[in-house]
A and B are shown apart, each in its own frame.
Chain A
Amino acid sequence: MSYTDTTINQSHISQLPRLNRRQITVLVMAIAAALLLGVVIGGFLLSNEKLMTNFEERSLSPSIEHPFGTDWLGRDMFARSLKGLTVSLGVGMLASTVSVFFALTLGLAAATMGRTVDGAVTWLVDIFLGLPHIVVLILIAFAMGGGTRGVIIAVAITHWPSLARVIRAEVLQLRTSEYVQLSRRLGRSRWWIATRHLLPHLVPQLLVGLVLLFPHAILHEAAITFLGFGLSPHQPAVGVILSESMRHLSTGQWWLALFPGLSLLVMVRAFDALGDNLRLLIDPHTAQE
């Protein structure tokens, strides 16, 4: 699940006949973009009417009019799921961007600012990875007093460690490479080396890191909200919807849980696949498969 673990499935999808990796990546990108656009535009166009309670249409099972059914207050579950996904996407994007920024700063600092800083960053990474991710999220959400702000901060400042490690290793490797050594001997400034040699290598890594962190951030946001730390119960986040659905399980209203979770799953899976394919594509070892 983590950034590094995805190296495991090096050749997935590559066995599909005919399409090469570039074409598959474009395909996945199109699917992910369509999903993203659909959710954003759908969530934007969605009138609040749909989210209103309507006691005449309580607890309906899925139909053409209400593809995801309605809940015990007569609210359309499709509209709620869509709204929930937009909330998740917003939190996910913000959190993964902040995390990538953290990872870049700390990874660069560790690799370039000497042994003390390197040691400190490595420690910080070890401390963060020494606790189960959910527990860290609970701790930080608790420290922030919960709420939307608490969740965003918690998700944002907990997703950087694995990417920071990758960046640190990458920069360390680049610094010892011959062309960087040569560049330094030729008297290029640190800034010149950083912007001309290091950055072009790091930008693709960062982009992939961003895309791969994004689904994780969404999943963790949903999880922590589900546990009750996060977004207020009035916001139709997917986590909130699912935790509410638990109260209506025993009455057999399966659609309350199935569809919102499924839409989250599809979203996460699409971006995971996108990130994986991008990663394989920018990696010269696997780009030509």
Chain B
Amino acid sequence: MRMGSALIYIGHKSVRLAVLLIALCAITFWLVSQSPIDPVQAYVGADMMRVGPEQRAEIAEYWGLNAPPLERFVRWGSAVVHGDFGTSMIFRRPVIDVIQERFTASLVLMGAAWVFSGVLGFVLGIIAGARQGTWIDRLIKCYCLTLASTPAFWLGLLLLIVFAVWLGWAPVGLGVPMGVPADEVTLGDHLRHMILPAVTLSIIGVANVALHTRQKLVNVLASDYVLFARAKGESEPAILWRHGMRNVALPAITLQFASLSELFGGSVLAEQVFSYPGLGQATVAAGLRGDVPLLLGAVIFSALFVFTGNLLADIIYRFVDPRIRLGGSV
């Protein structure tokens, strides 16, 4: 029964997300087609002087740029449904290949930051909440609130200056060492190049979950059942473990999933600072250089990423939390 309702809920939610995604594609396509950036010019680039009007017309014809917008959208949409996102003008490769490669790199980066910021933020939140009102609480709060106002790319720049330029501990950028053939790049190289961007994202990502966890824990510790537990003579660590953690952990995980949108936004900036070859950097390049197919593909995949996070957060919130689960069936 419960399993069934869960499936129905997820199905319902997925349909809604799919419709949202289609609407989003339409709006994105419309927006992109409004751009004054001439796609033919963007395609030809610096060779513009050597391309005559006839050639321009031919290029436009080749890419199907002369068709009315609706027809282009339908054609693009049906191709996308078949898994064909077109060819990236910058990379001269199928968009889907570019995205697959870039998104994998981004996912590794974001995954590391996600786990690290989640754990660190949770721990900081617990410490601040358990020691509410003390200097350490104030310190953590001040740290988090300041981080919330910090431009991610600026933080990245500072880390780059300190750890790459001054101390020389980390490489200055890129995803792999320069001048090394692709098949000789080791896992260690990948990791070394990922550390600084991941740390940047983690430091920024800590704020939200820490403040949230702190507030939740403060509420829990002020509750009647904790008062009762204290009256029974339970020790503070036991109270923290049995009442605090259990109540606070799930909201924190839910929040982490729901904040994938901000994580992606941060990774766009971090990737740009560190020249990390991820999807964010590809999105920026596509936008700057008028690579419409790649931009459309990147938008869709970033939306899918955020939707997945929200869906998971919803599922956790609804079906994993025992209180809400029981509350729902009564």
Q: Are A135 and B157 in contact (CB under 8 A)?
A: no
- Residue pairs across A and B with Cβ atoms less than 8 A apart, 24 shown, are A9-B214, A127-B24, A130-B306, A130-B307, A131-B303, A131-B306, A132-B262, A133-B261, A138-B268, A139-B31, A139-B287, A142-B32, A143-B32, A143-B35, A227-B287, A229-B288, A245-B157, A249-B165, A254-B161, A254-B165, A257-B161, A261-B157, A264-B154, A273-B145
Which chain B residues border A252 with CB–CB below 8 Å?
161, 165-166
The number of residues on chain B lying at the interface, defined by a beta carbon within 8 Å of a beta carbon of chain A, is: 62
The interface residues of chain A, by DSSP majority, are classed as helix
CA distance A11 to B215 in the complex (A): 9
CA distance A141 to B239 in the complex (A): 52
Q: Are B151 and A264 in contact (CB under 8 A)?
A: yes
Least Cβ–Cβ distance between B270 and chain A, in angstroms: 11
Q: Are A145 and B37 in contact (CB under 8 A)?
A: yes
Q: With the chains together, A223 CA to B299 CA distance in Å?
A: 18
Q: For the complex, what is the distance from the CA of A246 to the CA of B161, rounded to whole Å?
A: 9
A261:B138 contact, CB within 8 angstroms? no
CA distance A127 to B138 in the complex (A): 37
B24 near A130: Cβ-Cβ < 8 Å: yes
Write the chain B residue with the least CB distance to A2. Answer: B262
User: Which B130-154 residues have C-beta < 8 A from chain A?
Assistant: 133, 137-138, 141, 144-146, 148-154
Which A residues from 195 to 226 make CB contacts under 8 A with B? 215, 219, 222-223, 226
CB nearest to A216 among chain B residues: B149
Partner of A1, one of B23, B31, B166, B262: B262
B215/A15 in contact, CB under 8 A: no
Candidates B138, B145, B212, B310; contact of A269 at CB < 8 Å: B145
Cβ of A141 and Cβ of B287 under 8 Å apart? yes
Q: Are B153 and A1 in contact (CB under 8 A)?
A: no
Q: Check A123/B23 contact, CB under 8 A, given A132-B261, A138-B284, A242-B154.
A: yes
A129 at the interface (CB under 8 A from B): yes
Interface string of B4-35 (1 = CB under 8 A from A): 00000000000000001101100110011011
| Chain A 234-263 interface 0/1 with B at a Cβ cutoff of 8 Å (1 = within) | 000000001001100110101001100100
Query: A273's closest neighbor in chain B, by CB?
Result: B145
A132 CA to B145 CA in the complex, in Å?
A: 21
Known: A123-B20, A249-B157. Contact between A265 and B306, CB under 8 A? no
- How long is the Cα–Cα vector from A280 to B32 in the complex, in angstroms? 41
Complex: chain A residue closest to B157, CB-CB: A257
**8 Å CB contacts to A: which residues of B110-146?**
133, 137-138, 141, 144-146
Complex: how many Å from CA A9 to CA B274? 32
Which parts of B168-203 form the interface with A (CB within 8 Å)? 172
Report B-chain residues with C-beta under 8 Å of the C-beta of A139.
28, 31-32, 287, 295, 299
Q: Among the interface residues B35, B138, B146, B295, which one has the most CB atoms of the partner chain A within 10 A?
A: B35
Cβ of B211 under 8 Å from chain A: yes
In the complex with contacts A1-B208, A229-B288, A219-B283 CB distance below 8 A: no
Residues of A within 8 A of B215 (CB): 8-10
Q: Is B69 among interface residues, defined by CB-CB distance under 8 A? A: no
Instruction: Decide yes or no whether A171 CB sits under 8 A from chain B.
Output: no
Residue B264, interface by CB 8 Å: yes
Residue A5 lies at the interface, judged by CB distance under 8 Å to chain B:
yes
In-complex Cβ contact of A9 among B32, B141, B161, B165 (8 A): B141
Name B215's closest neighbour in chain A (CB-CB).
A8
Q: How does the 8 Å CB contact mask read for B248-271 relative to A, with 1 for contact and 0 for none?
A: 000000000000011011001100
- Bound state CA distance, A129 and B262, in angstroms? 10
A71 within 8 A of B: no
- Among candidates B153, B265, B288, residue contacting A242 with C-beta atoms closer than 8 Å: B153
Pair B261/A272 contact, Cβ less than 8 Å: no
Cβ contacts B48-82/A at 8 Å (1 or 0 each): 00000000000000000000000000000000000
Q: How large is the interface on A (under 10, 10 to 19, 20 to 34, 35 or more residues)?
A: 35 or more
Q: Is A74 an interface residue (CB 8 A)?
A: no
B160 interface hit (Cβ, 8 Å): yes
Given A143-B32, A145-B35, A223-B152, residue A135 in contact with residue B145 (CB < 8 A): no
Given A132-B302, A138-B284, A261-B158, A227 contacting B269 (CB threshold 8 A): yes
Residues on B with beta carbons closer than 8 Å to the beta carbon of A242 = 151, 153-154, 157
A209 to B188, alpha carbons, bound, how many Å? 47
B99 close to chain A: CB less than 8 A:
no
Bound-state CA distance A124–B280 (Å) is 24
Is A246 in contact with B273, judged by CB distance below 8 angstroms? yes
Q: Knowing A127-B27, A131-B299, say if A15 contacts B262 (CB, 8 Å).
A: no
Residues of B within 8 A of A144 (CB): 34-36
Nearest Cβ in chain B — how far from A265, in angstroms?
Answer: 6
**Does A132 lie within 8 Å of B157, measured CB to CB?**
no
Cα of A265 to Cα of B23 in the assembled complex, Å: 36
**Minimum distance in angstroms from A171 CB to a CB of chain B:** 24
State A176–B185 Cα separation when bound (angstroms): 64
12 other contacts beyond A134-B265, A139-B32, with CB at 8 A cut-off? A1-B262, A127-B27, A131-B303, A135-B299, A242-B154, A261-B151, A261-B158, A265-B149, A268-B149, A269-B149, A272-B145, A273-B145
